[in-house]
Amino acid sequence: MSREFTTVGVIGLGTMGAGIVEVFARNGIDVIAVDASDEAVERGRSFLTKSTGRALERGKIDQAAYDALHGHVTYASALESLAPCQLVVEAVPEHLDLKKEIFAQLDKIVADDAVLATNTSSLPVTEIAASTSNPKRVVGMHFFNPAPVQQFVEVIRTVITADDVFEDVKALAQRIDKKPVIVGDKAGFIANALLFGYLNHAVAMFESRYATREDIDAAMKLGCGYPMGPLALLDLIGLDTAYEILDTMYKQGRDRLHAPSPIIKQMVSAGLKGRKTGRGFYTYAGAGSPEIVADGHTPGEGAPEGVIVREVSSVGVVGSGTMATGIIEVFARAGRSVTFVARTEERVAGVLAAIEKSQARAVEKGRATREEADALLARLHPSTSRADLAEVDLVVEAIAEDLDLKQELFRDLDRICKPGAILATTTSSLPIIDCAKVTSRPEDVVGMHFFNPAQVMKLVEVVHTVSTSEDVVATVQSLCRELGKHPVTCGDRSGFIVNALLFPYLNDAVKMLSANYATADDIDTAMKTGCGLPMGPFELLDVVGLDVSLAIERELYIEFREPGYAPAPLLEHLVTAGYLGRKTGRGFRTYA
């Protein structure tokens, strides 16, 4: 006989607890909501009132549903009030001793067949269970933030959890409209084990001033379609909680990449715990407010003082592939005259045909008028001779990803282009300084890393080398904005911002799969429904191509010599076997 959960308890009404109360109550379950003091209970009640009030305002629930939801909740500040509960979910701060103490007490308060669940993100559930007289009835029930929104729930089964207990909890999770996945008791479980390495890495980038907080966050939102940037997400999670999670993961796995970046601890000590205290990486309108307000770190508009932006009215593009074609169209769409150089007449014709087709589609879909499309096409000046680039203000090269070829081109551009012309490369993996050093004007050489398809993707990584001059960076940033793009700026390191943050995480997912901790389906589900990512890691690897991914991971490993970046052997094997992803019909999955 499975358990009927009609009354459940929630302890700790903070970021997570208040959301968990809302989820149960919204699904018609009576909730006894407990926090440590009357004051804390009041704060928890106000979280719930605010969150449901917003839902009411936005028409997501009506007044009757709002009243019913609140009718299901009673508040208390004593654990003894939880006696009638068939299930208690604990969501107090991430401290093992505190949780053990609470479980030991609960064990004496609730009925013998009641289930005890912890919402811990990383602490050993087994050890928490061992603090009770009956560890068989203890599970992890790990909700995601914000609990009313994220569908995913990890149900953590320890080696002693009774079968009926986790089955009943799984059924309950389904009843409250969540997608439960059952996992073993390992720090970080699926989602956090993959997410926190990435978040910690983003903090390290910020701490080393590799890029600004705004640029790191914008890069991941616009480059990968993530719902939030990593630093804004850490503010939402709470830096104190994030610190504890990383610390526990580090202590369990001894993976250096999980050692909390020092600045996290400093911020926590200073009370900058994120949204809940009104300040974390960003400053918020008030404690608990989601609204970011400007502070001393907010970047100003336009070029820095004293820096004069160069005039860019005509541009050149070298190359005839997917990226070059997209970039040519982007420039022409923004009213620039574009001289583009391909190696042969056929390639020139190919580029023109592709842009004509894309413009015809734009007209068909009403995104441009015929006149606009014709004017755009009239701004294109095709050529097979690099000499035609002599007078342009800026050249972007998008030829093959081969350093010898690119260096040969840069030598030539140096000879051909007028003084003051900016020479940009769209390389995604080669050191830009290697292109700059073969010219007599390394200060004019810069990276402009567009994303594919360039016509659609808003992000451009503007990459400066140790030699790039300030006005070149400012000119390219302002040009990007005129193109309708969002520039982010960073130094000349392997992976720039996006790939450097993305690929180690994908690699970790492959390692988790090879360790048989979870299936590819469960891992993909965890990252999509727990963290709101547009694709799971295995879906994404299959789309990007396993060979391409392996090449990027190798570059990152060689550049940073981080043992954790060494490509997972499973990825190497799949590539060796010719399973390269969708393009070959098989990668991590097999395609029709």
Ligand X SMILES: NC(=O)c1ccc[n+]([C@@H]2O[C@H](COP(=O)([O-])OP(=O)(O)OC[C@H]3O[C@@H](n4cnc5c(N)ncnc54)[C@H](O)[C@@H]3O)[C@@H](O)[C@H]2O)c1
Residues that bind ligand X (CB under 6 A): 11-17, 34-36, 40, 44, 91-94, 119-121, 142-145, 237-238, 241, 276
Looking up tokens 């050489």 gives 445
| Closer Cβ to ligand X, 288 or 491, answer by number | 288
Min separation Cβ 112 and ligand X, Å: 23
| Closer Cβ to ligand X, 86 or 120, answer by number | 120
Min separation Cβ 166 and ligand X, Å: 18
Min separation Cβ 50 and ligand X, Å: 14
Active site residue 80: no
| Closer Cβ to ligand X, 94 or 461, answer by number | 94
Active site residue 507: no
| Closer Cβ to ligand X, 38 or 67, answer by number | 38
Q: Coil, strand, or helix at residue 365?
A: coil
- Residue 143: beta bridge partners? 153
Min separation Cβ 107 and ligand X, Å: 15
Four-CA torsion 556, 558, 562, 564, nearest 10 degrees: 60
Looking up tokens 């070059």 gives 324
CA distances from 559 to 370, 385, 476, 498 (A): 48, 36, 26, 15
Closest CA to 375 of 355, 397, 347: 355
Cα–Cα distance between 140 and 149 in angstroms, integer? 19
Whether 250 and 192 have beta carbons less than 8 Å apart is answered as no
**Pairing mode of beta strands 7-11, 30-34:** parallel
Q: Is 305 exposed, middle or buried (0-12, 13-18, 19+ CB in 10 A)?
A: exposed
- Residue 152: beta bridge partners? 179
Active site residue 57: no
| Closer Cβ to ligand X, 154 or 555, answer by number | 154
Query: Which is the catalytic residue, given 22, 244, 461, 553?
Result: 461
Active site residue 499: yes
| Closer Cβ to ligand X, 170 or 441, answer by number | 170
| Closer Cβ to ligand X, 102 or 460, answer by number | 102
Min separation Cβ 98 and ligand X, Å: 6
Q: What is the DSSP string of 220-259?
A: HHHHH--SS-HHHHHHHH-HHHHHHHHHHHHHHH--GGGS
| Closer Cβ to ligand X, 131 or 358, answer by number | 131
Looking up tokens 């019913």 gives 68
Whether 121 and 142 have beta carbons less than 8 Å apart is answered as yes
- Residue 449: beta bridge partners? 461
| Closer Cβ to ligand X, 242 or 544, answer by number | 242
Reduced DSSP (H G I as helix, E B as strand, rest coil) percent helix, strand, coil of the chain, to 5: 50, 15, 35
| Closer Cβ to ligand X, 150 or 358, answer by number | 150
Min separation Cβ 21 and ligand X, Å: 11
Give 276-282's long-range contacts (Cβ < 8 A, gap of 24+). Answer: 276/14, 276/15, 276/238, 280/231, 280/234, 280/235, 280/239, 281/206, 281/213, 281/231, 281/232, 281/234, 281/235, 282/213, 282/231, 282/232, 282/235
Query: Which is the catalytic residue, given 449, 507, 553, 555?
Result: 449
Closest CA to 17 of 60, 73, 65, 59: 73
CA distances from 315 to 318, 376, 423, 481 (A): 10, 14, 10, 15
Query: Which is the catalytic residue, given 467, 499, 507, 549?
Result: 499
Closest CA to 235 of 281, 296, 189: 281
Residue nearest to ligand X (CB): 14
Min separation Cβ 370 and ligand X, Å: 51
The amino acid present at 549, given as its one-letter code, is: S
Residue 19 DSSP class: H
| Closer Cβ to ligand X, 52 or 494, answer by number | 52
Min separation Cβ 20 and ligand X, Å: 9
Min separation Cβ 94 and ligand X, Å: 4
Min separation Cβ 12 and ligand X, Å: 3
Min separation Cβ 46 and ligand X, Å: 11
CA distances from 91 to 48, 64, 191, 449, 566 (A): 15, 28, 18, 43, 36
Whether 285 and 235 have beta carbons less than 8 Å apart is answered as no
Q: Coil, strand, or helix at residue 82?
A: helix
Catalytic residues: 428, 449, 461, 499
